[in-house]
Structure 1
Amino acid sequence: MEAAPTGQRSSHQSVEKGRSRHKIPRDVETDIAYLYEVLPQLSRIFRIIDKIGEGTFSTVYLAEAQMTDGSRRMFALKHLIPTSHPVRIAAELQCLTVAGGTENVMGVTYCFRKEHHVVIVMPYMEHQTFVDIVGSLSFEDVKHYIFHLLKALRHIHKFGIIHRDIKPTNFLFNQQRREYSLVDFGLAQGTPDTQIELLKGLLLKTKREEVIPRKIVSSKHRSVPVRTPLNQKPKAPAVSPMLTCNCFMTDRVCNICLSRKQQVAPRAGTPGFRAPEVLTKCPNQGTAIDMWSAGVILLSLLSGRYPFFKASDDLIALTQIMTIRGSRETKEAAKTFGKSIVCSRELPRLDLRILCETLRGLRSWDDASLPAEFQASRNPAEVKQDAGSPARKRMSSGSLRSIAELQEMGWDKAPDDVYDLLDKLLDLNPATRITASMALQHPLFKDMTV
């Protein structure tokens, strides 16, 4: 614990200055006291300052420690929920230990355990919240951001690690220093040739009855999975599958479709960032799912719209993807991984440059025939009136800028290369989707050191 990995240390003064501006809420004080109680050894080393993150499986705290040389450093303490499986916890630690500390991947400094309580200690990296800066980044900032995310993905994929939860909050970014760090391997899985021993027991396995191709019936352009076990022959339905629900040819998904028994397949990750093969419950998922998530992040960075996709369930999420990538293309890609999609309405594939430039404010809405889903961002003046509305949260802060400001930020000179890379990251077919190694060789990065 004598040193944090190079490039991942935070500014102690700026962190402390920011924390001193507000009083810690009473509930956070209670949580900190509880953490000291269940892991008393922490109090001998750390002064826990604040809670800085909370998720389904863990809570993250900011803490200060005095080093042996007399200096003080900041650390992130990740307290895993007591119900986490021991193998899952050990696998996350092994990922951090083997692959972390280099190539924009967070390392681990120490680990404390008492009974079923585990705290992973990591260097703290001061960073900005993605939603606060997504519309204010210059094109060069975006180029560097995606480049360093791809470097982190290439590194972990080399070890056979599938992160499975790539999203902006798991890729820390310090805009001033251009520092980056991929965090949170709590959902990581292993590829068949993974070098992480503990991930070998967490390979993406599926049951025998889940490997047969499924039919996916569409309601207008909503998609519904229909399950057929491998160990029994498909039976001819008494009624055509197209007529077994109440929502076909309508703009909604009915309760019959939503209540269908779902097939089992890995679907970890965050809504809005799940790849098509995850949404359609394809049993064979690999590192390509991380690349899709990187593509969604780049889509937000180029359009200034975050989150770009936000759906309440997998069916609507697939619909949103089809709206961007086209229904015919989605159906063809689905066939390659054993799925069949029926769509009653043809959805054209959108030009990614026109889409992003319109949402960012570089093009007139009159010049772009975009679907109704994007009209919420059309009138900045109306959105400004209600800053707390869902529309405002989905609104591009970049689109509120003037053309002159956008030009000064280099957005009028964004090359075709960046949209070509975006297209390759958002390839609907995981078999042909660009890999991290290939992406780093893309012409967009010809002036950058890989």
Structure 2
Amino acid sequence: MEEPMAFSPLRGCDRCPADDSLKKYEQSVKLSGIKRDIEELCEAVPQLVSVFKIKDKIGEGTFSSVYLATAQLQEGREEKIALKHLIPTSHPVRIAAELQCLTVAGGQDNVMGVKYCFRKNDHVVIAMPYLEHESFLDILNSLSFQEVREYMFNLFVALKRIHQFGIVHRDVKPSNFLYNRRLKKYALVDFGLAQGTRDTKIELLKFVQSEAQQEDCSRNKCHGVIGHKGPLSRPAPKNVDQHITTKTSVKRSYANAQIHIKQGKDGKLIKQSKTVDIMSRKLATKKMAVSTKAVNSSMRDSARSCPAALTCDCYGTDRVCSVCLSRRQQVAPRAGTPGFRAPEVLTKCPDQTTAIDMWSAGVIFLSLLSGRYPFYKASDDLTALAQIMTIRGSRETIQAAKAFGKSILCSKEVPAQDLRTLCERLRGPDSANPKSAVDPPGNTGHHPAASESTDHKAPHAPASPAQHSEDSLYKRGSGGGRRHPRDRTANPEGWDSVPDDAYDLLDKLLDLNPASRITAEAALVHPFFKDVC
């Protein structure tokens, strides 16, 4: 028999006064915190007060916060503006590069533009048009199939636009692609992690790549990349003279970008903080080297004596052999949101192109077709790669990795799943109570063991990752908890006959080989969009 309950469950409109008081207290604390943040922002950048009325704080990310403000226009009406406040520790070149992306590529084709930029000391605020939008999780299972087609079409319009300028967004996800369902308006936002291709037209992105390389090299003691002919971007400066030339070039490129910044008393954007950042980085690297020198000395000695021709013999064991210890760390960007990273990012491939954005778009499409969001969630890159294998197949993943110079070992062969069967099963009759992430058919809670032989070994990759929440700068509402999508029966139009073209496009987006993955330009003319204009 069950133990008697100490308290009877609440029914109907019965409310606990303590709960109401707690909610009111939490709300007051939150409001006071937002009010304090707004006051601090106005103190840091006082020129904002003369232009805007800051109403609310609508988003907070790792590197910035976003506020909702209004500007009084000459006609007498108010215009809503989104103010993105970049944290003072952000690198000046990175800030300038983000601004250049917005000014050069933004403002059309579903890419967010910039209206103004304000600066005071090391505080930078970017003013952008505000697009009222819905939460992807809230509307996921109420979208008609036609709305899904329009959503993906407009996402590819935005990606085609930025890819034409050689911009790799690197963080494509629903919270960075705003959607106003009523007005049918879209906007790709947040270029804070963007990098450039080899032929990028955004000059400052070339220096962003160079800075990232320098940081990775300092962290890995400039070991470089093994098994590849050259790095993705231009090499880091080798001496002081070259470094001074680079700084001058950055300032000149920044001036040519015609980004109008209201300055404070201390001058230009790219000046003092860059030197401070480089010095702090060197100091941190030096401290790290000193602290780890004594611990790792014996390992390094054994690694140096290891001939390069020997093969690893520690796979599947509980030890790390000297061959693996002697391998140098990969230098490759791996920015982005867990669950949306492409295989070439997870395996630290140094030559990353706009194809990584197309993979992320494919994951979004996978969520739309299956009704599950987030579809993938993993606590680390190895688990994420194993999760991809459960959908795309282990043999296919291994073969694709070879194409871009990586070697992956898998302890169990997992067949590729049929995408239509997978999505229809996940979106089936029980979708009224969906899961947050996919648990593939036949999966018993463990993914195949996978390891990248050039970097690390792991005999097991359990599928017990922590939930990840969206790190959105444009989140709406105050709820911090996870919510389940609504039942698809709210709008079943078109879902009873999803065409084969949809899954053909999905298959091309989730191509494990970035070289053959479909481009945004090619996706727009795919038969799936034949009736979309």
Please give the TM-score of this superposition, normalised by the length of structure 2. Answer: 0.67
Residue type matched to 1:333 in 2? A
CA offset digits 1:177-203 (Å, max 9, x no partner): 211000000111011111111112233
* Alignment correspondent of 1:315: 382
* Alignment correspondent of 2:366: 299
1:394 CA displacement:
8.3
1:25 CA displacement:
1.2
From 236, 239, 251, the equivalent of 2:310 is 236
1:233 CA displacement:
6.3
* Alignment correspondent of 1:147: 153
Residue type matched to 2:503 in 1? Y
Alpha-carbon separation, structure 1, partners of 2:179 and 2:444: 33
Alpha-carbon separation, structure 2, partners of 1:105 and 1:417: 26
1:409 CA displacement:
2.3
Alpha-carbon separation, structure 2, partners of 1:440 and 1:293: 16
CA offset digits 1:48-77 (Å, max 9, x no partner): 111111111100000011012211010000
From 204, 212, 222, the equivalent of 2:227 is 212
CA offset digits 1:250-291 (Å, max 9, x no partner): xxxxxxx9xx98532100101110000000000100000000
Alpha-carbon separation, structure 1, partners of 2:483 and 2:384: 19
Please give the TM-score of this superposition, normalised by the length of structure 1. Answer: 0.79
8 Å contact kept, 1:263–1:281: yes
Aligned residue for 2:186, secondary structure, equals strand
* Alignment correspondent of 2:34: 28
Residue type matched to 2:205 in 1? L
Alpha-carbon separation, structure 2, partners of 1:172 and 1:372: 36
1:45 CA displacement:
1.1
* Alignment correspondent of 1:439: 523
* Alignment correspondent of 2:80: 74
From 322, 329, 333, the equivalent of 2:400 is 333
CA change 1:373–1:446 in 2 (3 A) is farther
In structure 2, runs of 5+ residues without a counterpart are 1-26, 214-221, 229-302, 435-439, 447-465, 469-480
1:209 CA displacement:
2.8
Give aligned pairs, total.
Answer: 381
* Alignment correspondent of 2:201: 195
Aligned residue runs from structure 1 range 75-114, under 5 A: 75-114=81-120
1:132 CA displacement:
1.1
From 331, 342, 346, the equivalent of 1:279 is 346
8 Å contact kept, 1:308–1:394: no
1:429 CA displacement:
0.2
* Alignment correspondent of 1:419: 503
* Alignment correspondent of 1:268: 335
* Alignment correspondent of 1:14: none
8 Å contact kept, 1:296–1:426: yes
8 Å contact kept, 2:223–2:328: no
8 Å contact kept, 1:75–1:124: yes
8 Å contact kept, 1:51–1:62: yes
Alpha-carbon separation, structure 1, partners of 2:501 and 2:483: 25
| Pairwise CA RMSD | 3.0
8 Å contact kept, 2:51–2:71: yes
Identity among equivalent positions (%) equals: 62
CA change 1:430–1:394 in 2 (3 A) is farther
1:234 CA displacement:
2.3
Residue type matched to 1:68 in 2? Q
* Alignment correspondent of 1:16: none
Residue type matched to 1:71 in 2? R
Larger radius of gyration: 2
CA change 1:373–1:352 in 2 (3 A) is farther
Alpha-carbon separation, structure 1, partners of 2:43 and 2:142: 42
1:363 CA displacement:
8.9
Residue type matched to 2:187 in 1? S
Alpha-carbon separation, structure 2, partners of 1:418 and 1:406: 21
CA change 1:328–1:395 in 2 (3 A) is farther
Residue type matched to 1:397 in 2? P
1:175 CA displacement:
1.1
Residue type matched to 1:49 in 2? K
Aligned residue runs from structure 1 range 346-385, under 5 A: 346-361=413-428, 369-372=441-444
CA offset digits 1:363-412 (Å, max 9, x no partner): 999xx9443459xxxxxxxxxxxxxx969x889636x44xxx37832111
1:170 CA displacement:
0.4
Residue type matched to 1:179 in 2? K
1:294 CA displacement:
0.3
CA change 1:212–1:123 in 2 (3 A) is same
* Alignment correspondent of 1:251: none
Alpha-carbon separation, structure 1, partners of 2:328 and 2:61: 28
8 Å contact kept, 1:106–1:182: yes
Alpha-carbon separation, structure 1, partners of 2:46 and 2:490: 52
CA change 1:395–1:442 in 2 (3 A) is farther
CA change 1:87–1:348 in 2 (3 A) is same
Alpha-carbon separation, structure 1, partners of 2:144 and 2:174: 17
Aligned residue for 2:224, secondary structure, equals helix
Alpha-carbon separation, structure 1, partners of 2:335 and 2:74: 41
Aligned residue runs from structure 1 range 29-68, under 5 A: 29-68=35-74
Alpha-carbon separation, structure 2, partners of 1:142 and 1:330: 28
Residue type matched to 1:329 in 2? E
1:427 CA displacement:
0.2
Aligned residue for 2:339, secondary structure, equals coil
Residue type matched to 1:210 in 2? V
After TM superposition, what 4+ stretches of structure 1 lie above 6 angstroms from structure 2?
393-396
CA offset digits 1:200-225 (Å, max 9, x no partner): 22337866631417xxxxxxxxxxxx
Alpha-carbon separation, structure 2, partners of 1:69 and 1:311: 51
Alpha-carbon separation, structure 2, partners of 1:241 and 1:324: 28
8 Å contact kept, 2:73–2:79: yes
8 Å contact kept, 1:63–1:75: yes
Alpha-carbon separation, structure 2, partners of 1:396 and 1:424: 29
Residue type matched to 2:358 in 1? M
CA offset digits 1:293-343 (Å, max 9, x no partner): 000000011111111110000000000000110000000000001111111
1:408 aligns with 2:474: no
8 Å contact kept, 2:133–2:180: yes
Residue type matched to 1:96 in 2? L
Aligned residue for 1:49, secondary structure, equals strand
Alpha-carbon separation, structure 2, partners of 1:432 and 1:137: 30
CA change 1:395–1:65 in 2 (3 A) is closer
CA change 1:309–1:369 in 2 (3 A) is closer
1:126 aligns with 2:200: no
In structure 1, runs of 5+ residues without a counterpart are 1-21, 214-228, 248-256, 375-388
